[in-house]
């Protein structure tokens, strides 16, 4: 069996594409591979753009929020922050306005509005700050808490529960690890693909030395 773990934006789906364009690509790829779609988008954000039912017939499994959420058919799994640990992390900072929290199947919420009871079922913490000192402090502190860290864009960093990555979550969908597995991505949040020695090929972007240069080389 062959599997393709693929990123979405910038890899399969581009700025001027439509949902129908993506559907045609998935139809072609699914003739040869079981597709695991691994994206940094939240489940909620994905549903705002794509028809889940239309795409579902061609996708073996979904990985959302960079590995914090997995969906395959009726199976849904989440990687949550430990409530007490996350609250302790946030409470260290005087300015809570820099934090946004993502709940399962939902969008981002402002941390400074939350009460203690609202720290359950959180799968992503986003930090927004124009201060490089605050960003660096969050990164260093998150590492001390054993959280996972992924840069989102300038002045923004996403923090995840321990052991969260696109690759690890995607591989949990594959029972037979002797299968041929390809991993395809274009950004920093896809670098976890490079850590698995049984992945046959990688595409991140032209800044890296890779064994394949385009998704269509393996179709």
Mean pLDDT of the chain, nearest integer: 85
pLDDT score at 183: 84
Residue 190 corresponds to which tokens in the numbers above? 């896809």
Angle at CA of residue 76, ends 18 and 138, nearest 5°: 80
Cα–Cα distance between 45 and 106 in angstroms, integer? Answer: 8
Highest CATH level, class, for 2-78+165-218: alpha beta
152-190 burial, b at 16+ Cβ within 10 Å, e below that, comes to beeeebbbbbeebbbbbbbbebbeeeeeebbbbbbbebb
212 has a pLDDT exceeding 50: no
For residues 190 and 14, the answer to whether their CB atoms sit within 8 Å is no
Residue in 180, 181, 185 with CA at minimum distance from that of residue 203: 185
Fold of the 83-160 domain: 3.30.1240
Q: Enumerate the domain spans of the chain.
A: 2-78+165-218, 83-160
Per-residue pLDDT tens for 110-167?
776 666 667 888 999 999 999 999 999 999 999 999 999 987 778 899 999 998 999 9
């Amino acid at each position: 069996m062959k599997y393709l773990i693929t990123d979405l934006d910038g890899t399969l789906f581009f700025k001027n594409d439509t949902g129908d364009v993506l559907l045609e690509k998935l139809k072609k790829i699914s003739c040869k591979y079981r597709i695991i779609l691994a994206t940094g988008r939240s489940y909620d954000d994905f549903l705002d753009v794509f028809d889940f039912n239309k795409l579902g017939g061609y996708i073996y499994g979904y990985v959302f929020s960079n590995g914090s959420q997995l969906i395959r058919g009726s199976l849904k799994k989440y990687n949550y922050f430990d409530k007490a640990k996350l609250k302790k992390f946030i409470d260290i900072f005087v300015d809570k306005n820099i934090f946004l929290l993502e709940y399962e199947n939902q969008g981002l919420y402002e941390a400074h509005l939350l009460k203690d009871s609202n720290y359950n079922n959180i799968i992503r913490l986003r930090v927004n700050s124009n201060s490089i000192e605050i960003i660096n402090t969050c990164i260093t502190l998150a590492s001390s808490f054993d959280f996972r860290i992924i840069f989102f864009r300038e002045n923004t960093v996403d923090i995840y529960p321990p052991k969260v990555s696109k690759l690890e979550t995607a591989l949990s969908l594959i029972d037979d690890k002797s299968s041929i597995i390809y991993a395809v991505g274009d950004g920093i949040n896809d670098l976890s693909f490079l850590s698995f020695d049984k992945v046959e090929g990688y595409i991140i972007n032209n800044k890296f030395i890779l064994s394949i240069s385009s998704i269509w080389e393996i179709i």
